[in-house]
Structure 1
Amino acid sequence: MADIEKKGRAANDVAYQLESLGPREKAERIAASFVPPTPEEERKVIRKLDRRLLPLVFILYSLSVLDRSNLGNARLAGLTKSIDLGGNRYSWLGTIFYISYILFQWTQMGWKQFPAHVWCAAVVMIWGFIATIQAATTSWGGLMTCRFFLAIAEAAFGPGVPLYLSYFYPREMVGFRHGVFISGAAMANAYGGALAYGITQIKGSVKPWQILFIIEGIPTCIFAVFAFYLLPDGITSAKFLTERDKQIALHFVARNQRLDVGKQQGLRFKEMLEGFKDPKSWIPGFCYFGCNVSYASLPLFVPTIISEMGTWSAAQSNGLSAPPYLLCFFYIITVCWLSDRFKMRGPFCALSATIGAIGFIIQATATTSGVRYFAIFLSVQIFASVALLLAWTANIHATESKRAGGYVVLATVGQCGPLLGTNVFPDSEKPYFRKGMWISASFCLLVAVLSGVLSLWLIYENKKMAREGVPEVEEFEDTSIARETGVNERHRYIW
């Protein structure tokens, strides 16, 4: 205990003395005076970060996915009886969302450009409001308008969270944290189906689909307030960390990557452009595209697919859409933890995509309701590949602004997938939707192949850097300077 208190006092003294120094001198002084933490100290700080960050981003993302994907539940809750969604109108509600979502992917850089707590709270409040007022729409045009603006706000939130989390965790530990974040989508689809089933039982003057939008939209506005007061902008401004905790966090986040200490807000545009130009940014983007073709359509169409099996009613189909996503939630957490444990991304990404492909192939060839329903449990596992791709992109790029550029490429290319995915299950393909199943299976297999290609490329690059003498792990003395000066930007890859 005495040693820890002594380290804490030393950290406070160092922080006071460093204020008058320039960036390089400041970094060199930190390297000279810093007492490296014990593994237990690092674990203690990680636990503090987990307790503050993970529950909030998990809840917010689950609300985000719930508010965008509840259209499928609303359809079975009577939306089509109030608003004419005949022809291709229903498909267009999904398509217009993703057109807007793609066009405004660049807004995710607001997480870097502005204070995170302000940016997050603002966009969450906006999309919560729009999601709620969908209940007041009386026409297809009004619903299309709501979906367009809902997508703008959500594009400014979800795609930027992985970048935000990479500010706080060592690069070999972001996989599990990204998994917790992205599993919010699986959980949203799980309880969204169960919630929709309960809401459809409500009888009153307000239609069930309107109650659905209201009940699922208002909580988002409430949590925007929590985000404003609880989210830290970065390590150095996190009030729940002591000065010693902050130095320990800077220490482990700086291993093999660079931090913008003292410049938490503001993009380094040259580095951001490097993220755009790096070919290694584009392969995860095409993988994400494949994932989204296969997965993005599922929340919109799974209730309908189950309903068309002919065994269950519309209300039961809403409820039965929940269990596959519940399994997906636990699978994502498990596979991302294993990915961190073994410091591998590609093999686990390929595995998840292959499981998804098997599920779609079974649905494309089987006719028995029980077998087809079981296959949905396999198909949704493709979503685990998304969580792994988010972590992989963070691992490929060593600087914060370059990661921002890499994430823009990932999201912009990847979010084009739903434009195809939301149109592969037309009503004319009922009841088996075989064409859509085969298309989805093909893109799952594409994700598996591209994951293998990128892994082999990174293994080759690592061997090349080993021959050139680039260390496998750059310790604090190097990275503390690099994070402020740009020195030692080459790092071994996690493949």
Structure 2
Amino acid sequence: MSGFEKNGSSDVAYQLEGLDPREKAERIAASFVPPTPEEERKVIQKLDRRLLPLVFVLYSLAVLDRSNLGNARLAGLTKSIDLSGNRYAWLGTIFYISYICFQWMQMGWKQFPAHMWCAGVVMLWGFIATIQAATTSWGGLMTCRFLLAIAEAAYGPGVPLYLSYFYPREKIGFRHGVFISGAAMANAYGGALAYAITQIHGSIKPWQILFIIEGLPTCILAVVVFFLLPDGITSARFLTERDKQIALHFVARNQRLDVGKQQGLRFREMLEGFKDPKSWIPGFCYFGCNVSYASLPLFVPTIISEMGKWSPAQSNGLSAPPYLLCFFYIITVCWLSDRFKMRGPFCALSATIGAIGFIILATATKTGARYFALFMAVQIFASVALLLAWTANIHATESKRAGGYVVLATIGQCGPLLGTNVFPDSEKPYFRKGMWISAAFCLLVAVLSLMLSTWLIFENRKMAREGVPEVEEYEDTSIARETGVHERHRYIW
């Protein structure tokens, strides 16, 4: 591995050319100087400083641009465009139909250079989000929502896969938590921002100003992404050669790396991800999370306004605090998940808290109790962050993880098709049916999470009896495939 210290991965490949695959693996292992915990910590800090702010802010803007429809509705959208009957619900539904159909585009993160792929799709969705302000009809707004979903499907679902290229499997949960908490933060400041924008009176309507102000920053950030986002460890200019060596070492612990093949899918492994039944249970958990959560950004301002105490503008502002709490809860629970190296119990806990919140909303009539219950209901979103990390932990290779994430996202994103239609206007003011449905799916998430944990614990014990090591060190995917060694790894449950 000393070649990484001197000249990078291409020189290593040259030096090992012609050797037997097993000899290659032995040569790499023999020449590597193991890092100290302090060295690993410093490299992870460098990665955090570069990657986490970018993916957090981008996802925050993505969620803001998809969910500000609820704020725009209260800012006068319905006075300019006829959204009577089921038209408003269809604006949410058409987004998720498109989002589901184009989940396969997340594989672009593996197939193409990350900085080019990400910058392109971010610029596209920022442009579409902004021009929503120019729509004059329901059909035009439906078209924008459909196209917006295509661009966002190419970004958000692929970020967990991208992050798994850079971090140890036992530390990826916190990083996924930071990423996904961008959604909670967007819904928090989105409500406050919408409240402020509704106070603006100019030549165009407040809802149009809302779309412009929340869409243009995305286009600007796309340029930043093009220059700052690394494609992978070996091409990260902010890392020294020793840093790259250390990063490759800890990322390959109990999983395999595509050294020298950062772009390009291994289709055999991707198909293995599709066929692995352990890919499907997180997918159904994600489905349950999305039934419960995906509709909330669209309907929380309306739910609050129907409590009868506040104006539409105040309801936009009051929708922020529950999401702010959710932001801190996600960060905390994902850190604990990494600390204790377990996903299922924390996923089940978050889902149970969400279920209790929805049950209170379904049964209570007093304003204080219902508003407090919103703080609990939104915590179901923490389960999403844990599921993203869990999927990465289940699959050992980059391409298999890509397949697993496609299964996760495709099944999971079907949830909003149900979730966005369980709060019809006829159910005002308490929306009891939607609350009971959401509570039931939260409980389903809790049960499935515990079932998957039990399964993985059983598999770990079986591997222990068979002599599979608890910790496997550096493995290049190509070498592992050619030698047929180290095909199995212990699971984080």
Q: Give the alignment's TM-score, normalised by structure 1.
A: 0.96
The aligned residue for residue 3 of structure 1 is: none
- Cα distance, 1:372 vs structure 2: 0.2
Match of 1:91 among 75, 85, 89: 89
The aligned residue for residue 172 of structure 1 is: 170
CA distance in 2, matches of 1:126, 1:299: 22
Between 44-53 and 472-481, report the one with greater CA deviation.
472-481
CA distance in 2, matches of 1:48, 1:8: 21
User: Could you say if the C-alpha distance between residues 373 and 327 of structure 1 is closer, same or farther in structure 2, counting changes exceeding 3 Å?
Assistant: same
CA distance in 2, matches of 1:486, 1:88: 56
CA distance in 2, matches of 1:477, 1:102: 34
- Cα distance, 1:349 vs structure 2: 0.1
The aligned residue for residue 4 of structure 1 is: none
Between 17-26 and 35-44, report the one with greater CA deviation.
17-26
Between 20-29 and 421-430, report the one with greater CA deviation.
20-29
AA of the residue aligned to 1:439:
I
AA of the residue aligned to 2:357:
G
CA distance in 2, matches of 1:420, 1:414: 11
AA of the residue aligned to 1:320:
L
Give yes or no for contact 1:110–1:119 (8 Å, CA) kept in 2: yes
CA distance in 2, matches of 1:34, 1:61: 37
User: Could you say if the C-alpha distance between residues 38 and 202 of structure 1 is closer, same or farther in structure 2, counting changes exceeding 3 Å?
Assistant: same
The aligned residue for residue 12 of structure 1 is: 6
Q: Deviation per CA, 1:178-231: give whole Å up to 9, x if none.
A: 000000000000000000000000111110000000000000000101111011
- Cα distance, 1:11 vs structure 2: 2.1
CA distance in 1, matches of 2:38, 2:276: 37
Task: Determine whether 1:82 maps to 2:80.
Answer: yes
AA of the residue aligned to 2:236:
A
CA distance in 2, matches of 1:79, 1:13: 58
Give yes or no for contact 1:18–1:26 (8 Å, CA) kept in 2: no
Q: What pairs with 1:4-43 in structure 2 (closer than 5 Å)? A: 11-12=5-6, 16=11, 18-22=13-17, 24=21, 26-43=24-41
CA distance in 2, matches of 1:26, 1:154: 41
Q: What pairs with 1:422-433 in structure 2 (closer than 5 Å)? A: 422-433=420-431
Between 20-29 and 122-131, report the one with greater CA deviation.
20-29
The aligned residue for residue 360 of structure 1 is: 358
Name structure 2 gaps, 5 residues minimum: none
Give yes or no for contact 1:465–1:492 (8 Å, CA) kept in 2: yes
CA distance in 1, matches of 2:345, 2:464: 22
CA distance in 2, matches of 1:392, 1:484: 27
User: Could you say if the C-alpha distance between residues 485 and 295 of structure 1 is closer, same or farther in structure 2, counting changes exceeding 3 Å?
Assistant: farther
AA of the residue aligned to 2:6:
N
Give yes or no for contact 1:176–1:340 (8 Å, CA) kept in 2: yes
Give yes or no for contact 1:126–1:153 (8 Å, CA) kept in 2: yes
User: Could you say if the C-alpha distance between residues 474 and 436 of structure 1 is closer, same or farther in structure 2, counting changes exceeding 3 Å?
Assistant: same
Q: Deviation per CA, 1:446-475: give whole Å up to 9, x if none.
A: 000000100000000000000100011112
CA distance in 1, matches of 2:477, 2:86: 54
User: Could you say if the C-alpha distance between residues 18 and 276 of structure 1 is closer, same or farther in structure 2, counting changes exceeding 3 Å?
Assistant: closer
CA distance in 2, matches of 1:404, 1:63: 24
Match of 2:158 among 154, 157, 160: 160
- Cα distance, 1:26 vs structure 2: 4.7
- Alignment RMSD: 1.7
Name structure 1 gaps, 5 residues minimum: 1-6
CA distance in 1, matches of 2:485, 2:319: 51
Give yes or no for contact 1:259–1:400 (8 Å, CA) kept in 2: yes
User: Could you say if the C-alpha distance between residues 291 and 486 of structure 1 is closer, same or farther in structure 2, counting changes exceeding 3 Å?
Assistant: farther
Give yes or no for contact 1:258–1:483 (8 Å, CA) kept in 2: no
1:476 partner SS: coil
CA distance in 2, matches of 1:266, 1:182: 26
Q: Give the alignment's TM-score, normalised by structure 2.
A: 0.97
Match of 1:346 among 344, 347, 353: 344
AA of the residue aligned to 2:245:
Q
CA distance in 2, matches of 1:149, 1:426: 25
The aligned residue for residue 225 of structure 1 is: 223
- Cα distance, 1:481 vs structure 2: 5.0
User: Could you say if the C-alpha distance between residues 236 and 17 of structure 1 is closer, same or farther in structure 2, counting changes exceeding 3 Å?
Assistant: closer
- Cα distance, 1:29 vs structure 2: 2.5
AA of the residue aligned to 1:349:
C
The aligned residue for residue 207 of structure 2 is: 209
Give yes or no for contact 2:343–2:386 (8 Å, CA) kept in 1: yes
Give yes or no for contact 1:256–1:398 (8 Å, CA) kept in 2: yes
CA distance in 2, matches of 1:14, 1:130: 40
- Cα distance, 1:27 vs structure 2: 4.1
CA distance in 2, matches of 1:10, 1:153: 36
User: Could you say if the C-alpha distance between residues 17 and 385 of structure 1 is closer, same or farther in structure 2, counting changes exceeding 3 Å?
Assistant: closer
The aligned residue for residue 193 of structure 1 is: 191
Task: Determine whether 1:151 maps to 2:149.
Answer: yes
Q: Deviation per CA, 1:50-108: give whole Å up to 9, x if none.
A: 00000000000000000000000000000000000000000000000000000000000
CA distance in 2, matches of 1:434, 1:14: 60
The aligned residue for residue 133 of structure 2 is: 135
Q: What pairs with 1:40-439 in structure 2 (closer than 5 Å)? A: 40-439=38-437
Q: Deviation per CA, 1:306-338: give whole Å up to 9, x if none.
A: 000000000000000000000000000000000
User: Could you say if the C-alpha distance between residues 460 and 129 of structure 1 is closer, same or farther in structure 2, counting changes exceeding 3 Å?
Assistant: same
- Cα distance, 1:31 vs structure 2: 1.3
CA distance in 2, matches of 1:165, 1:128: 22
User: Could you say if the C-alpha distance between residues 13 and 364 of structure 1 is closer, same or farther in structure 2, counting changes exceeding 3 Å?
Assistant: closer
User: Could you say if the C-alpha distance between residues 491 and 66 of structure 1 is closer, same or farther in structure 2, counting changes exceeding 3 Å?
Assistant: same
Q: Deviation per CA, 1:406-438: give whole Å up to 9, x if none.
A: 000000000000000000000000000000000
Give yes or no for contact 1:66–1:216 (8 Å, CA) kept in 2: yes
CA distance in 2, matches of 1:251, 1:93: 46
